Amino acid sequence: MRDRLWTIVNGRPIVVVVTRARHPSKEIEEAVQLSEARGFRYLPSRRSSHAWGFLRCPGDCPQVSVWSTPRVPERHAAQILRAVNRCSHEEYAAEGGDQ
């Protein structure tokens, strides 16, 4: 749920800890937390009224949209988990790729 970003202020590098907002649905929040534990990064959506954010894989997998108000939250959480389980970036990292 926290991400560390490096930035330079007055010529000195500092670490900024960024936290994201929690998803209103507990099932989707659990799926997002699991995907973050597997290496995915959360990106907030820009001006979309449908997407709450996106999950981006460190490998070559396509990003996963996280909807703000899905009709059936349990089904959308299952879709997120299927996309995370389908991702092969862990095998990519084991072969010596950059993660």
Q: What are the structural domain ranges in the chain?
A: 22-94
What mean pLDDT is reported for the chain? 83
User: 65 near 54, Cβ under 8 Å?
Assistant: yes
Quote the pLDDT of residue 99. Answer: 44
Q: Write the class of the CATH domain 22-94.
A: alpha beta
Q: What is the pLDDT of residue 80?
A: 97
Query: Residue by residue, what is the 3-state secondary structure of the chain?
Result: CEEEEEEEECCEEEEEEEECCCCCCHHHHHHHHHHHHCCCEEEECCCCCCEEEEEECCCCCCCEEEECCCCCHHHHHHHHHHHHHHCCHHHHHHCCCCC
The answer to pTM > 0.85 is: no
